[in-house]
């Protein structure tokens, strides 16, 4: 194809975290802190039959992994990207965030009802030669 600027062999997208375990009312999924050195973006999608809490999808980035305490959302020394996820929305549930720090993790907080369907995928992306 003439004029195509993207060589698909130059795109790498490993899975960093994923889950299909449903959450109860106000339940929280927190991935481990993951080194993303060399990646340009993190991206993924969330599907739930229940709306998230307000700004319930959070991508946290930090300079050190210790700034992202295990099992609890971070409160300082980080940057966050926040998204609200609507119930059963397959059209507006994807996200992409530019990497600005060496460590990243995802935090998802469920809304006001227990889920019966949930899927979260979070990957690293490297774009080269564009």
| pLDDT mean over 4-14 | 50
Would strands 118-127 and 11-12 be described as parallel, antiparallel, or unpaired? antiparallel
Confidence (pLDDT) at 12? 54
- Taking the domains of the chain in order of start, what are their residue ranges? 13-127
For residues 95-116, average pLDDT: 95
Q: 13-127 in CATH: which number? A: 2.60.120
Determine how many CB atoms are found less than 10 A away from the CB of residue 101: 17
Q: Is the pLDDT of residue 15 over 70?
A: yes
């Amino acid at each position: 194809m003439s004029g195509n600027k993207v060589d698909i062999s130059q795109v790498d997208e490993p899975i960093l975290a994923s889950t299909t375990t449903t959450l109860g009312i106000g339940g929280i999924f927190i991935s481990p802190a993951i080194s993303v050195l060399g990646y340009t973006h993190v991206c993924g999608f969330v599907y739930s039959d229940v709306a998230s809490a307000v700004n319930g999808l959070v991508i946290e980035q930090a300079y050190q992994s210790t700034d992202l305490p295990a099992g609890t959302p971070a409160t300082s020394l980080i940057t966050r990207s926040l998204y609200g996820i609507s119930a059963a929305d397959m059209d507006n549930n994807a996200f992409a965030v530019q990497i600005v720090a060496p460590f990243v993790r995802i935090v998802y907080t469920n809304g006001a009802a227990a889920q019966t369907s949930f899927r979260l995928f979070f990957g690293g992306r490297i774009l080269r030669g564009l």
